[in-house]
Chains A and B, each alone.
Chain A
Amino acid sequence: MLKEFARGLWTTFRSMFEKPVTVQYPEVKRPVRTRFKGRHTLKRYPDGLEKCIGCSLCAAACPADAIFVESAENTDEARYSPGERYASTYEINMLRCIYCGYCEDACPTEAIVLGDNYELSFTDRAQAIYTKEMLLESVPEPSQTTPRKVEPGIFTRSIPVMQDPHD
């Protein structure tokens, strides 16, 4: 019994000289895993148009009923996204969201993607509702903002042509 006792004491004593496993969080941030599901982002095409076409499939797929989408018509004078419609309102209630990623799966244009940001904190409930402006990623170049005036007849498909069927 005394031998085990001494071995246990030696083990704990030895661990005093190991490097601590603690990550000093606010200063040092550990990278998230590759499949981590954090805060959502609404993506854009390389030309700056929004991927979201306001179809509400994400809202339908959401098990927590956290997403609210309202869509409106695109025109060539004021174009937000390719095709007929775009999301005029897009809100996610982060207090309801369970970060399951079903919205990501449901999206036909891969517009909504769960990112790596997990630092979500609010001081009241209203702050927990993330609007479209907060979720939408910034434009690749400053000239490519939406809405913008485009040549008629180019952006007729709301879903891009599939390049590689195995993709």
Chain B
Amino acid sequence: MDTASVIEVIIKSAILLLVMTGGFAYLTLYERKVLARLQVRIGPNRAGPLGILQPIADAIKLIFKEELIPASAHKFIFILAPVITVLPALVITAVIPWGGTVNLFGRQVHLEVADINVGVLYITAVASIAVYGITLAGWSSNNKYAMLGGLRASAQMISYELGLGLAFISPIIIAGSMRVTDIIQAQADLGIIKWLLLQPLAPIIFLVASIAEVNRAPFDMPEAEQELTAGYHTEYSGMKFALFFMAEYIKMIAVSAIAATLFFGGYLGPFVDRWPGLGPVYLLIKIVILLFWMIWIRATIPRIRYDRLMAFGWKVLLPVGLLSVFLSAVLVLVFNVGVPFTPGG
């Protein structure tokens, strides 16, 4: 790797981090606005025109809040936990391509931070790390509500990641690769309709399980207000609380980006071959639509009971996930599409 490539990767990472954190700020506003409209309200409209300065006002407020650390908390882990939660959410998007290859300053730049050959595996692996942060936050707070919230988060994560992981397998089977760019290429070759017909269940499983993955309503058991006050972040205040918030919202963006990339064509769209600059725009549009889906679900469905959530995860999502894998494998064999798997190749 020459110096120019290193600089290129650093610049791309910086852009990605800035986009994700900026996206987090404006996702809070987007959610509040959309949620308000779904509930026949107006939503924030005081800070700046149409409330566009609201996230900045919130950030300033949170920065100036007092940071409390409970006397009996485990201080080191208590401070570390929000960091463990927020970092995977940021790192996970490194393997998501947000465009094809563009020519910038006489250099062929591939619009992706890291094009690794186990991209999908990387996504599942990194996504699971965040739950350590949540569980440790719950444990180190030394508070019964936080503890229960943390335990629920870990139990929920285990039950849902099975379904999520099985949903990932279908695109891998059809594309014959774990590299995310190969999966995008397979979608370009097959066409999006054919791509979805070959895996009819996987996108649905992913959309359901991903809501549980980011701990949002109706699967927000770790922070069920009525039972657990605020769940794992009961004892957190100020910027440490903001970090948990940030993790949740950045993960929302990341999960939407993953869903868009694996199932809905990623940066592909009309004329993207001719103008590769359109790629990020298409990806953004798809992410915004998928985020709307998450907010819409939150506005519609009440939180389900914990035992039903576990039953749903193990007794419905897991068998359906297995069925989905089976279905995709059979469809690929019957119609003889996709890249044939060669053992050892």
Q: Are A12 and B38 in contact (CB under 8 A)?
A: yes
**Chain B, 273-315, CB within 8 A of any chain A CB:** 296-297, 299-301
Query: Which among B36, B41, B42, B299 is the interface contact of A12 at CB below 8 angstroms?
Result: B299
How far, in whole Å, are A20 and B37 apart by their CA atoms in the complex? 7
- Asked if A18 is an interface residue, CB under 8 A from chain B, the answer is yes
**Chain A, 12-26, CB within 8 A of any chain B CB:** 12-13, 15-16, 18-22, 24
- Asked if A140 is an interface residue, CB under 8 A from chain B, the answer is no
How far, in whole Å, are A21 and B36 apart by their CA atoms in the complex? 10
Q: Chain A 68-90, CB within 8 Å of chain B: the 1/0 string?
A: 00000000000000000000000
How far, in whole Å, are A2 and B297 apart by their CA atoms in the complex? 13
How far, in whole Å, are A12 and B296 apart by their CA atoms in the complex? 8
Query: Given the complex, which residues of A lie within 8 Å of B38, measured CB to CB?
Result: 12-13, 15-16
Q: Are B300 and A8 in contact (CB under 8 A)?
A: yes
A15: min CB distance to chain B, Å: 5
Query: Which among B36, B37, B40, B296 is the interface contact of A9 at CB below 8 angstroms?
Result: B296
**Chain B, 8-36, CB within 8 A of any chain A CB:** 36
- Asked if B124 is an interface residue, CB under 8 A from chain A, the answer is no
How far, in whole Å, are A20 and B35 apart by their CA atoms in the complex? 12
Chain A interface size, as a band, is 10 to 19
Q: Are B296 and A20 in contact (CB under 8 A)?
A: no
Q: Are A20 and B300 in contact (CB under 8 A)?
A: no
Q: Chain B 37-56, CB within 8 Å of chain A: the 1/0 string?
A: 11111100000000000000
Query: Given the complex, which residues of B lie within 8 Å of A13, measured CB to CB?
Result: 38, 296
How far, in whole Å, are A76 and B281 apart by their CA atoms in the complex? 85
Chain B interface size, as a band, is 10 to 19
Query: Given the complex, which residues of B lie within 8 Å of A18, measured CB to CB?
Result: 40
Q: Are A20 and B301 in contact (CB under 8 A)?
A: no
Q: Are A22 and B42 in contact (CB under 8 A)?
A: yes
Query: Given the complex, which residues of B lie within 8 Å of A24, measured CB to CB?
Result: 42
Query: Which among B42, B297, B299 is the interface contact of A20 at CB below 8 angstroms?
Result: B42
Q: Are A21 and B301 in contact (CB under 8 A)?
A: no
A115: min CB distance to chain B, Å: 28
Residue of A nearest to B295 (CB): A12
Residue of B nearest to A19 (CB): B40
Query: Given the complex, which residues of B lie within 8 Å of A11, measured CB to CB?
Result: 300
Query: Given the complex, which residues of A lie within 8 Å of B42, measured CB to CB?
Result: 20, 22, 24
Query: Given the complex, which residues of B lie within 8 Å of A20, measured CB to CB?
Result: 36-37, 40-42
How far, in whole Å, are A9 and B293 apart by their CA atoms in the complex? 10
Counting chain B CB atoms within 10 Å of each CB, the highest count among A8, A12, A13, A24 belongs to A12
**Chain A, 105-125, CB within 8 A of any chain B CB:** none
Q: Chain B 310-334, CB within 8 Å of chain A: the 1/0 string?
A: 0000000000000000000000000
Q: Are A22 and B299 in contact (CB under 8 A)?
A: no
Query: Given the complex, which residues of B lie within 8 Å of A8, measured CB to CB?
Result: 300-301
How far, in whole Å, are A22 and B36 apart by their CA atoms in the complex? 10
Residue of B nearest to A8 (CB): B300
A66: min CB distance to chain B, Å: 34
Q: Chain A 19-59, CB within 8 Å of chain B: the 1/0 string?
A: 11110100000000000000000000000000000000000
How far, in whole Å, are A5 and B41 apart by their CA atoms in the complex? 23
How far, in whole Å, are A5 and B39 apart by their CA atoms in the complex? 17
B212: min CB distance to chain A, Å: 16
Query: Which among A9, A15, A19 is the interface contact of B39 at CB below 8 angstroms?
Result: A15
How far, in whole Å, are A8 and B299 apart by their CA atoms in the complex? 10
How far, in whole Å, are A156 and B38 apart by their CA atoms in the complex? 66
Residue of B nearest to A22 (CB): B42
B257: min CB distance to chain A, Å: 23
Query: Which among A12, A19, A21, A22 is the interface contact of B300 at CB below 8 angstroms?
Result: A12
Query: Given the complex, which residues of B lie within 8 Å of A9, measured CB to CB?
Result: 296-297, 300
Q: Are B37 and A16 in contact (CB under 8 A)?
A: yes
Q: Are A15 and B40 in contact (CB under 8 A)?
A: yes
B5: min CB distance to chain A, Å: 47
Identify the 8 closest CB pairs spanning chains A and B, nearest first: A22-B42, A12-B300, A16-B37, A8-B300, A20-B42, A12-B38, A12-B299, A18-B40
5 new A-B contacts, CB < 8 A, other than A8-B301, A15-B38, A15-B40, are A8-B300, A11-B300, A16-B37, A21-B40, A22-B41
Can you list 15 A-B contacts with CB-CB less than 8 angstroms, sorted by A residue number?
Answer: A9-B300, A11-B300, A12-B38, A12-B300, A13-B38, A13-B296, A15-B39, A15-B40, A18-B40, A19-B40, A20-B37, A20-B40, A20-B42, A21-B41, A24-B42
B-binding residues in A (CB < 8 A): 5, 8-9, 11-13, 15-16, 18-22, 24
